[in-house]
Amino acid sequence: MNLSDVTERISRKLESSGAQPDRQKIESRLRRLVEEFGVNVAEAERTVTGDLAREHNLPNLVSSSSDLRPINEIAPGEWVTIEGKIVSLTPSISPSIAQNGIIADSSGAMRFVVWSRANAPAMEYGHWYRIESAVVDEYKGSPNMKIHSGTTISQMEKDVPLLPSITPSAELAPGVGSVRAKVIQDWDVLSDRMLQTGLLGDESGTIKFVIWKEEGKEKLELDGVYNIYYATVDEYNGRLSLTLNTAMYIADEGDIEVGRNETEIQGALIHVAPGSGLIKRCPVEGCNRSLSRQNYCPVHEIQSNFRYDLRLKGVLDDGERARNILMQRDLVEKLTGITLDEAISIAESNPIGMDEIFYRVRNAVLGRYYTCSGGEFAGRMLVDSCAPVTFKPEELAALLNRAGGEVA
């Protein structure tokens, strides 16, 4: 830990209570404790904070690390005392970690780690503990409580049932979260260690989930609605995902109207990709993959009882960004004026077959302006609605004004 970071933290803490501390003084006091007296940084921070709080007459800061705090108010960098219930314990991934899991109170939940070197008593799932002088830092973008040798853990006699608060999926942040969601997609697992992966949705949007193989973990049912308590929320490449290994999930009644993370884009369709137009799909239930010209499915091999479908894979480009889009049959029919039945009969009576439909679709849409809205998924927009852009005289007038004030 860097002393200037600590200085900054102490200064902010005092400033937030209305004091105006001298940063140089703080740093020199810290340095003295750490370098001359060999005090560890965390302890030096506590001492200096306490001294300064007394000097500035801020008594409530002095006892900050022993004041009981609600979990959802704790930020990385704080020394805290909390009372919480162990709601999840996950197998340790390293010999230097004795235990890790999630601790919760009525305000929220947080991941924690107990270092082996802390020699702390093992905590049990479902029990309440008072944890004094633990330190909270940031791990992969979310707050994480570290229990070290200076932390006191005492088991409590309390057994208050906790009702985790459900968060809309669109408002989840890295850390721990509970959702009520429906399983809307169940994907193929690509790793031996993975039990299940797919997409969950609630009214506010969708989020990817993963369950790693572990004793006692069960799969979610496709289309089932679940209450998922204390899942781990991770961020990867700017996208959130839920890991359910820390979570308790219970099937729930009812259904959810899944909201989509809809975006709208307007631009010119500048590319129609191969695989657009009339395609054949694998008839095996739940497969639906598109077949090659020889009716070969990458999973189910030759399928001659295929069914036909229309789709459009292309690029919509607004001059600033080029985005991949995918449209299903109903939209392709609407934009091109060719129905699936017509497309089939044209293809079956034409010497170039399905290529003829590709050309007709391409000639109908390529180079034209459209407004598309839909959800973005794996770098591609799945278009729900699409309309041609129409010419609006007021836009022309506005642009003339913008270009021409002084010229006209």
For 139, the 3-state DSSP assignment is: strand
CA dihedral (363, 364, 365, 366) in degrees, to 10, reads 20
Alpha-carbon gap, residue 231 to 224, rounded angstroms = 17
Cα 312 off chain centre by: 29
Q: Is 68 in the site for other proteins (CB under 8 A)?
A: no
Residues 299-328 that bind other proteins (CB under 8 A): 315, 317-322, 324
Q: Is 367 in the site for other proteins (CB under 8 A)?
A: yes
Q: Is 125 in the site for other proteins (CB under 8 A)?
A: no
Residue 211 is encoded by which pair of tokens? Answer: 């369950």
In the complex with other proteins, the residue whose CB is nearer, 36 or 395, is 395
In the complex with other proteins, the residue whose CB is nearer, 199 or 278, is 199
Q: Is 274 in the site for other proteins (CB under 8 A)?
A: no
Give the number of residues in contact with other proteins, rule: CB under 8 A: 40
Q: Report yes or no: 194 and 163 within 8 Å, Cβ to Cβ.
A: no
Per-residue contact flags (x/-) with other proteins for residues 230 to 269, judged by CB under 8 A:
-------x------------------------------x-
Nearest approach, Cβ of residue 398 and other proteins (Å):
9
Alpha-carbon gap, residue 301 to 294, rounded angstroms = 10
Q: Report yes or no: 9 and 45 within 8 Å, Cβ to Cβ.
A: yes
In the complex with other proteins, the residue whose CB is nearer, 68 or 400, is 400
Instruction: Specify the stretch interacting with other proteins by CB under 8 A; choose among 43-51, 119-127, 151-159, 396-404.
Output: 396-404
Q: Is 404 in the site for other proteins (CB under 8 A)?
A: yes
120-125 long-range contacts (CB < 8 A, ≥24 apart) are 120/147, 120/151, 120/153, 121/153, 121/155, 122/98, 123/86, 123/89, 123/99, 123/153, 123/155, 124/86, 125/86, 125/87, 125/88, 125/89, 125/101
Q: Is 340 in the site for other proteins (CB under 8 A)?
A: no
Query: Within 13 Å and on the Cβ side, how many CA atoms surround 72?
Result: 9
Q: Is 126 in the site for other proteins (CB under 8 A)?
A: no
Nearest approach, Cβ of residue 220 and other proteins (Å):
16
Alpha-carbon gap, residue 98 to 95, rounded angstroms = 7
In the complex with other proteins, the residue whose CB is nearer, 118 or 381, is 381
Which of 9, 362, 375, 383 is in the footprint of other proteins by CB under 8 A? Answer: 362
Alpha-carbon gap, residue 165 to 178, rounded angstroms = 7
Q: Is 289 in the site for other proteins (CB under 8 A)?
A: no
Q: Is 170 in the site for other proteins (CB under 8 A)?
A: no
- Element containing residue 130 per DSSP (H, E): strand 128-139
Nearest approach, Cβ of residue 185 and other proteins (Å):
11
In the complex with other proteins, the residue whose CB is nearer, 161 or 404, is 404
Residue 41 is encoded by which pair of tokens? Answer: 């940084």
Nearest approach, Cβ of residue 177 and other proteins (Å):
20
> What is the SS3 string spanning 242-291?
EEHHHCEEEEECCCCCCCCCEEEEEEEEEEECCCCEEEEECCCCCCCCEC
Which of 93, 122, 163, 190 is in the footprint of other proteins by CB under 8 A? Answer: 190
Q: Is 93 in the site for other proteins (CB under 8 A)?
A: no
The residue ranges that bind other proteins (CB under 8 A) are 187, 190-191, 197, 237, 268, 270-271, 315, 317-322, 324, 362-363, 366-369, 378-380, 389-391, 393, 395-397, 399-400, 402-404, 406-408
